[in-house]
Amino acid sequence: MRVSALTVLVLGVATMAAAQTTAHWEYRGKDGPLAWGKLAPAYKACSQGHEQSPIDIRGAHLNKALQPIEFHYRAGAVTLENNGHTVVVHVAPGSYIVANGVRYELQQFHFHHPSEETVKGKFSDMVIHLMHKSADGQLAVIAVRLNEDRGDPNATLAALWQHLPATAGATDQVTDAVNPGGLLPADRGYWNYMGSLTAPPCTEGVHWFVFEQELSISRAQLNAFAAIFKMNARPLQDTHGRRIEANE
């Protein structure tokens, strides 16, 4: 079923945003990543920031003071939206994490093909970014890398993949409850660094938590996403000497 109320809301927000300082952008061509910083004044951080994401993860320092992330995700109905850049999965309120003493509410999660972040120069086939916000406006992203292999197919991905909206602006609702916790690897060891949103406006001050363990994705699932988004990953950014830490 098409969710007309959500569509109206999304169009409303898009219209409001257009009145502010947003601009059309792409992953390729004249409105591609190298131009983002010039497309709108609000996108300046994309070209002038020194804390941009994604980055290549290497040389992490072990920091035993980093605590395991507490996940308090709950199952609920979700709506998938193709926003022209990715498929965004909108979740019901109530899911949150606690990361190093700060509570962040899960707002949405989405996918990139291939992965944006690399580990010692190696890309994964895809990545999930779970976007969270604290009460005082701090952003935290959990990144779960997906690798095509012969491992067990992920049931949560399989449920979502039946509802991937193929065209920009389209939405689809999953009425069976989906628990985003089904998208987390068994081993919760992570790398942590300070970065940014990986799409305009490239806002900085984002707490990144990249899981060390990858999840499996099947060839068929990979092909299904690639048929919609052949490439929706921002190129790697300079670390400018940023420190990367590992919690285990």
**Catalytic residue (choose from 24, 61, 72, 85):** 85
What element of type H or E holds 160?
helix 155-161
The footprint of Zn ion on this chain (CB under 5 A) covers a number of residues equal to 1
For the CB of residue 165, give the shortest distance to Zn ion in the complex, in Å.
Answer: 17
From residue 38, alpha-carbon distances to 17, 25, 85, 108 in Å are: 17, 10, 19, 27
Smallest gap from Cβ 12 to Zn ion, in A, equals 23
Task: For residues 19 and 198, give the distance between their C-alpha atoms in angstroms, rounded to a whole number.
Answer: 22
Window 14-53: contact mask with Zn ion (x via CB under 5 A):
----------------------------------------
Q: Rounded to the nearest whole angstrom, what is the least distance from the CB of residue 127 to Zn ion in the complex?
A: 7
Catalytic (active site) residue 85: yes
Question: What SS3 state is found at 2?
Answer: coil
Site for Zn ion in 100-129 (CB under 5 A): 129
Q: How far apart are CA 164 and CA 158, in angstroms?
A: 10
Handedness of CA 226, 231, 232, 238 (dihedral sign): positive
CB of 106 vs Zn ion, minimal distance in Å: 14
Structural contact between residues 246 and 65, judged by C-beta atoms closer than 8 angstroms: no
Question: CA 67, CA 190: separation in Å to the nearest integer?
Answer: 10
Among residues 108 and 216, whose Cβ is nearest to Zn ion?
108
Q: Give the position of tokens 């507490």.
A: 70
> Residue number with the shortest CB distance to Zn ion?
129
Residues 160-219 within binding reach of Zn ion (CB under 5 A): none
Q: Which is nearer to Zn ion, 143 or 244 (CB)?
A: 143
Does 132 participate in binding Zn ion (rule CB under 5 A)? no
**Distance (Å, rounded) from C-alpha 160 to C-alpha 178?**
8
Binding stretches for Zn ion (CB under 5 A): 129
